[in-house]
Amino acid sequence: MTPVSTGLSADVLVDAAQVKSGLSDFGDEWFREPLDVLVGSINTEARLSPLGLELSRRRLTALLVDRLRLRALQREHPEILDTEVPVAAVILGLPRTGSTLMHRLLAASPKLTATLSWEVTYPIPFPGEGPDAAERKHRAQEREKLFLQMSPDFGAVHTVEWDGPEEEVILVDRSFTSMSYDSFYWVPGYGDWLRGADQTKAYAELREWLQVLRWQDPARAGRRWVLKSPHHLTAINPVLDTFPDAKIVMTHRSPTSAVPSYASMVRTISGQYSDEIDPVRIGRYWHRRFEASLREFASVRATRPDRFVDVRFADITTDPVAQARRVLDEVGLTGDAQDGAAFEAYLERNRTESHGAHTYTAEDFGLSTRELERDFAFYTEEYL
């Protein structure tokens, strides 16, 4: 029988957030269903350590506080809801397929903007904080240091820059409908629920978060957004409907590399929360999860093929600037000398950063290349 990790209660978390914030109005409480599913799955499946339990309680409470503060800010400044947030591109695909490189290249363009790491962590100004966001930036730096202390191998898997572009899925975390959770915890019940959930309201809220960030930063005027997360693969219709002018930029790499690579990343992250990490179980879960996601995605893509741009991992690693320019052209933003210089500057900076060795094998996660090739043949034959 699976041991029960006790200590989390959705009602207690909600009450704690209201006490901590001094606010009570969540607006539409649709989020309670995903929160209840997540908490139930954590309690029955995740096998949290005492530290993991405390970290989770603090994190979930903080996300609920942000929901309360978002509604309060919108009431105080209703003009936020009229803020335009034009999205040029939404990058998605399996994790570890070159999407981060493409995202950070495009974010360097003077024509585009992206969510920054400190913003997605602390999206709402603290009381009395000036427009320089000094307190939030300081906290983000300290948070990054602590995270890397707890997961020292993570930097070899995914470069963390507190002031650099980061996935906006961290904003979606506040809706409790996010791939972050089954990446951080062993919660297959939650993951199965999420795959079947209607994420329309979560993406409407993502748009509201982008409005808040644009409202705070006038320098973003005239620039279109570039979004990126593997999570978007699970909600392609809400993405297309919420951002009707955006192109979907899909990065492609053989799942024989992408699946074990992501399993390795999940093993690293989830070790913060549990002392009982089973790499074979992780590998098999993400194998099934990604296979199902790609099969479901294919049928949706077929209905709106004009919205998609494909980028192969081999091409972006061979000539990243050419691929970034091609994507700019595809989304209607012709690249120029300023874009080229910005792309080259990012690549030079990226080369000088320290990237540790990320070593793993498919067998480390109970997988085999032959098995992955067989199960993902429907995908590789189409795109690779």
Q: Is the pLDDT of residue 69 over 60?
A: yes
Question: Of the candidates 174, 223, 187, 221, which has an alpha carbon nearest to the alpha carbon of residue 71?
Answer: 174
Q: How confident is the model at residue 306 (pLDDT cuts 50, 70, 90)?
A: very high
CB within 8 Å of 212: residues ≥ 6 apart: 70, 73, 80, 123, 124
Using alpha carbons only, how large is the chain's radius of gyration in Å? 20
Residue 268 CA to chain centroid, in angstroms? 16
Question: Of the candidates 17, 30, 27, 31, which has an alpha carbon nearest to the alpha carbon of residue 65?
Answer: 17
pLDDT tens by residue, 243-260: 999 999 999 999 999 999
pLDDT tens by residue, 128-155: 999 999 999 999 999 988 887 876 765 5
pLDDT tens by residue, 1-58: 344 446 899 999 999 999 999 999 999 999 999 999 999 999 999 999 999 999 999 9
pLDDT tens by residue, 208-241: 999 999 999 999 999 999 999 999 999 999 999 9
CB 98 within 8 A of CB 313: yes
pLDDT of residue 1: 35
First to last CA, the chain: 43
Q: Is the pLDDT of residue 287 over 90?
A: yes
Task: Please give the full DSSP string across 191-211, using - where no structure is assigned.
Answer: HHHHHHS--HHHHHHHHHHHH
**Residue 78, CA distances (Å) to 81, 87, 108, 233 in order:** 6, 21, 31, 32
pTM attached to this predicted model: 0.94
Q: In the structure encoding, which two tokens stand for residue 352, read together? A: 């000088």
Where do the domains of the chain lie, and which CATH numbers do they carry? Answer: 86-383 (3.40.50.300)
pLDDT of residue 359: 78
Q: Exposure pattern of 274-292 as b/e (b: 16+ CB <10 Å)?
A: beebbbeebbbbbbebbbe
Q: What's the whole-number average pLDDT of the chain?
A: 94
Bridge partners of 91, per DSSP, are: 228, 249
Q: What φ, ψ does residue 91 adopt, rounded to 5°?
A: -90, 130
- Better-predicted residue by pLDDT, 6 or 372: 372
CB 292 within 8 A of CB 195: yes
Question: Of the candidates 5, 22, 19, 15, which has an alpha carbon nearest to the alpha carbon of residue 56?
Answer: 5
Quote the percentage of the chain above a pLDDT of 70. Answer: 95
pLDDT of residue 265: 92
pLDDT of residue 347: 96
pLDDT of residue 354: 52
Mean pLDDT of all residues in 276-294: 97
Given strand 308-312, what is the order of strands in its sheet? 112-113, 224-228, 87-92, 247-252, 308-312
